[in-house]
Amino acid sequence: MAIAKQNPSCQNILNECKKIGFVDGQWKQDNGLWKDCFDPLVSGKGVPTRDGQPVNVPVNPSDVQACHAAIAAAHKPQQ
């Protein structure tokens, strides 16, 4: 989460999720900023949902790629 908050591409994704109504902490209501919107977009495993229905989030594919790469690099073991 810290990486996402500092990366401009990840910030763009988070802002788009917020614009369409996803809220930090509302994952139990299927409206969570991270679990229901950000994570599916960045991981590529699924689509954002609200109330069990897919939601179209207008994000730039290059932002998704850059954010995914930044998060993956942060979790890569140091040698």
Cβ neighbours of residue 36 closer than 8 Å, sequence gap 6 or more: 22, 26, 27, 30, 48, 49, 50
d(CA 24, CA 62): 24
Half-sphere exposure at residue 75, Cβ-oriented, CA atoms within 13 angstroms: 10
pLDDT at 3: 80
Question: What pTM was computed for the model?
Answer: 0.88
Q: What is the pLDDT of residues 11-55, one digit of tens each?
A: 999 999 999 999 999 989 889 999 999 999 999 988 999 988 999
With contact defined as beta carbons under 8 Å apart, do 50 and 56 qualify?
A: no
